Amino acid sequence: MLDQLFSISPAWASSFLMILARISAAIVALPLFGARGVPAQAKIGLAVLLSLIVLPLQSTPVMLMPSSLLVVASLIGSEVLVGVTIGIAVMLVFRALEMGSTLVGVQMGFGIAAVLDPTSGEQIGTLDQFYRLLVTLVFFAVNGHLLVVQGLLQSFEVVPPGTADLSLIAGERVIPFFAALFVIAVRISLPVVGALLLTDVAMALVGRTVPQMNILIVGFPLKIGVGLLVLVAGMPVLVAFIGSVFGRMLLDVNGFFAP
């Protein structure tokens, strides 16, 4: 009686293994979820919990685990690659937002000094650290963590477990995504960089008019002041733009695997 009560169907076990492989790989590659400061027990627990939620929601018939070890490794490897692709794509959205801050920091002169970010182990500028904190706060303010989990669960509707076709991720789908990331970085930095460019032009005209003035000494604090002023003035628009980027990023990521 106990053996029948606690028996596990091989079909359900194989599907759970496929789902767990994809979700675990995505959590490890996702930003914030897979950060160094997150305990490994929390990542494992979240992956198992999400897998148990997804398993009974599968509308397709539960597949049996193939008898060939090579086929099993291929299926699990495909699920891992799908999860890693989703995590890296979301991480690239974060990196695109932070790349805009790097362009601003270099133009303002903050790129000279760099400090160590304990979450990523990288050396980033002071302004980059501010943008990274701003992106993280906006991410949680728009429930981005819930959107990531929702998008990850919806990926099983687009690509059921064991049916991943990685050949769909071709250039005609990936290249527009990377182009959109570059556009995001430019749009993040455009107001401040544009204002600083006009400041450089104005200082060049002043230098030609008043040769006695040391433009280098006057220019550094002036560019920092103009950059910070434009940054503060455009903060509401910047926050709204970052929120809209997070709102549609997972739709673009799941579009990689749509047949």
Within 10 Å of residue 238's Cβ, how many Cβ atoms?
Answer: 22
pTM of the full predicted structure? 0.73
Query: Tens digits of per-residue pLDDT, 160-207?
Result: 777 766 665 655 667 777 777 788 888 888 888 888 888 888 888 877
Domain ranges, ordered by start, for the chain: 2-254
* Residue 150 and residue 250 in contact, taking contact as beta carbons nearer than 8 Å: yes
CA 255/CA 173 separation, integer angstroms: 8
Residue 107: closest CA among 14, 201, 195, 1: 195
CA distances to 126, 132, 225 from 111, in Å:
8, 15, 15
Query: Tens digits of per-residue pLDDT, 35-76?
Result: 777 788 888 888 888 888 887 776 655 555 566 677 777 778
